[in-house]
Amino acid sequence: MAEPVIESPDSAMVFGLALSLWNECNKQQSLNLIEHYDGVGRFMREVMRVANQFADWSSLHIAFHELDEVWPCLLEDKFGKACLSVIQPTALDEFSHKDCLRVAMRLRLPIKPNDKLLIPIDVRVSNPISTAAFREFHIQAFRKSIQNGDLVPFSSDGEMYDDAFGHPYYSLYGVDKFGFSEHIADRKTYQELVYLAERFAPGVVFPQWATFFQDLHEAGRL
């Protein structure tokens, strides 16, 4: 698989991010954010810091070419609300790269999975070999409970960074015509399982970038 091209954040992106977050923060009329941040200057600097951090993170991890919307416009419309769904407006100074992932997932952005940025994945694709026993291949992310060893799906509904669970990993299943799944293999990365599925069924097509695979499947894009 080819190395992803790293995009560079531009001023339009940062402006859209900062404006969206600034406007959304100012809707919180029950909070005196100017007073909380000891003046409008520090408040503005924190907004800009968040905007720049998310722009830098996105340049590394977002597949911009997969977006149907104009990127700066999408950010201006939706970033502020998504950001404040994961962090309080009084805690902008605590915003980190972990929050970048949370925000990106709420925005349904196409994230480039890799061995350092593991994301919730749950995708099924058809087997192009119609006579094969497996009609579909299914890749899903899991993680193990530290306390009792139980396996649970690693999904966007839970806490992304939870010390109660071990490091996420990915599992590949074959699905027969009756809908029954057979476990094939576990791997540390999504890309490794895509490669393995391609060896089982030459011509099978998994998306290169993804976060909310189930949303794409329902929309008929897979």
pLDDT digits 0-9 by tens, 38-97: 999 999 999 999 999 999 999 888 888 777 778 888 888 999 999 999 899 999 999 998
pLDDT(138) > 90: yes
pTM here?
A: 0.70
Q: What is the pLDDT of residue 172?
A: 95
Q: 164 falls in which pLDDT band (50, 70, 90)?
A: confident
Q: What is the pLDDT of residue 2?
A: 43
Report yes or no: 95 and 131 within 8 Å, Cβ to Cβ: no
Q: 160 falls in which pLDDT band (50, 70, 90)?
A: low
% of the chain at pLDDT higher than 90 = 41
Q: What is the pLDDT of residue 214?
A: 40
pLDDT digits 0-9 by tens, 168-187: 889 999 999 999 999 999 99
